[in-house]
Amino acid sequence: MSYQIEPIGVIRSPYKEKFAVPRQPGLVPSARSEIVLQGEANVIEAVRGLEQFSHLWLLFLFDQNLDAGWRPTVRPPRLGGNERIGVFASRATFRPNGIGMSAVELKGVRQQGSDVIIELGGVDLVDGTPIVDIKPYIPYSDSLPEAQGGFATEQPDTLPVVFSAQVEVQLNEHQQQRAVIEEVLAQDPRPAYKKGKADPKEYAVHLFDYNVKFTVNCEQVQVTSLEKAKLS
């Protein structure tokens, strides 16, 4: 049997591309995102009582990966990108049905014109990701302090992030955006095999409306420039 799933909303987030998106929710707490409900789900009655909860489960589609298919084994970044494990022992984005799940903070609910909007924090989703379901996070059943985390028992280490003088001036009146850029780059978004290694290459990531350029050495991330991203 086959089933058809229709998205009930779409994410609006600072992450305009897959590169540098946090690998788990909550790693960039300063980031603010929102779900814009759509279709038959876009009614205020559908979110009645949602504000009683502090966190939500989001079920979504890895829509940018669906055409690439999947494999039974993957190389998790937490294992350096070299060791293979089963796809179901990972949170890899290339999966048989392309479904992901994230626990995120609920910031608020509002109606803007004809749109019902759910405001969120700590989201790890690319802008435009289709949302297929929303469920309240229930602490007594969903929080399991004695659970074992396998190869991902602790939050990954981060690097300090420094900004060039020019970038500091550019972000002086945009402190929330500055915080998001810092928290994203502190995760060192380069390929896993480059972790802990000096790298002469200058990288770039599209966050908000900026093309953020940076370099990484063994001890810190240096944000070298900030340019207005070109719209495609």
Question: What pLDDT, in 10s, does the model give residues 11-35?
Answer: 999 999 999 898 889 999 999 999 9
pTM for this predicted structure: 0.89
Residue 80 has pLDDT above 80, yes or no: no
The identity of residue 68, as a single letter, is A
Say what the pLDDT of residue 147 is: 85
Residue 98 has pLDDT above 60, yes or no: yes
Q: How far apart are CA 135 and CA 113, in angstroms?
A: 24
Helix ranges, the chain (H): 139-142, 165-170, 175-186
Comparing C-alpha atoms, which of 209, 203, 204 is closest to residue 232?
209
pLDDT band at 72 (very low <50, low <70, confident <90, very high): very high
Say what the pLDDT of residue 231 is: 61
Residue 232 has pLDDT above 60, yes or no: no
